[in-house]
Chains A and B, each alone.
Chain A
Amino acid sequence: EAGVAQSPRYKIIEKRQSVAFWCNPISGHATLYWYQQILGQGPKLLIQFQNNGVVDDSQLPKDRFSAERLKGVDSTLKIQPAKLEDSAVYLCASSLAGTGGGNQPQHFGDGTRLSIL
């Protein structure tokens, strides 16, 4: 089974520029997650989708971050404008089910490492 695919692997931009990340989850996985992992810290959930609807975006900085999952499959995460503190690895994960779905594990992609200059 193919894993969670993310691109690009690395991105370097200057502050105040915009950037977008792409994620393709495992086929058939209804739930998709975006996490932010700052160096030396554990991943922090930014947003969770169930199919194409948002389940939890309570920790997403909505003034600069946005995410969509239009057809319930692929997802994009955008930052506009970027700040220095956005330097991190952005991880995408997917699972078969989310709320009330039992104990389905989350499968992670390799992440996109973002550096802000």
Chain B
Amino acid sequence: GDSVTQMEGPVTLSEEAFLTINCTYTATGYPSLFWYVQYPGEGLQLLLKATKADDKGSNKGFEATYRKETTSFHLEKGSVQVSDSAVYFCALRDTGFQKLVFGTGTRLLVSP
């Protein structure tokens, strides 16, 4: 079945450092890809998405490019802030019933 693999955390960075969180997927067909963010005690918030190969999703300084050839959707940000500390989930949405399949999440800790 469909699956998503994320790099394990926590990822610990200093403020203004460059961020990369790796995500690869296995799927039949051509799924849409997503990054969700979860702040402590809150639900999931959609961060960005890409619906087809070579699409780049971006939001709040984060970006990720849908790479079909490497089945990847890595999340990047040029300069992280303390407020970016959260758990980040990579997900795909299957082309059938539209359910989301999530990775295990990567915790990001940003220190001042």
Contacts and interface: CB of A to CB of B under 8 A. Distances in A.
Genuine A/B complex: yes
Interface residues of B, number: 24
A91 B99 CA distance: 14
Contacts, number: 58
Nearest to B41: A110
Which has the most chain B C-beta neighbours within 10 Å: A33, A42, A44, A107?
A42
B42 interface: yes
B51 interface: yes
B91 A42 contact: yes
A60 B49 CA distance: 27
Contacts of A48: 97-99
B60 to A, nearest CB: 15
Interface residues of A, number: 27
A113 to B, nearest CB: 9
A56 B98 CA distance: 10
Given A42-B89, A48-B99, A99-B97, A108 B105 contact: no
Contacts of B99: 33, 45, 48, 56
A56 B2 CA distance: 15
A103 B49 contact: yes
A81 B57 CA distance: 43
Contacts of A41: 104-105
A40 B6 CA distance: 12
A43 B102 contact: yes
Interface of B: 4, 32, 36, 41-46, 49, 51, 89, 91, 93, 96-105
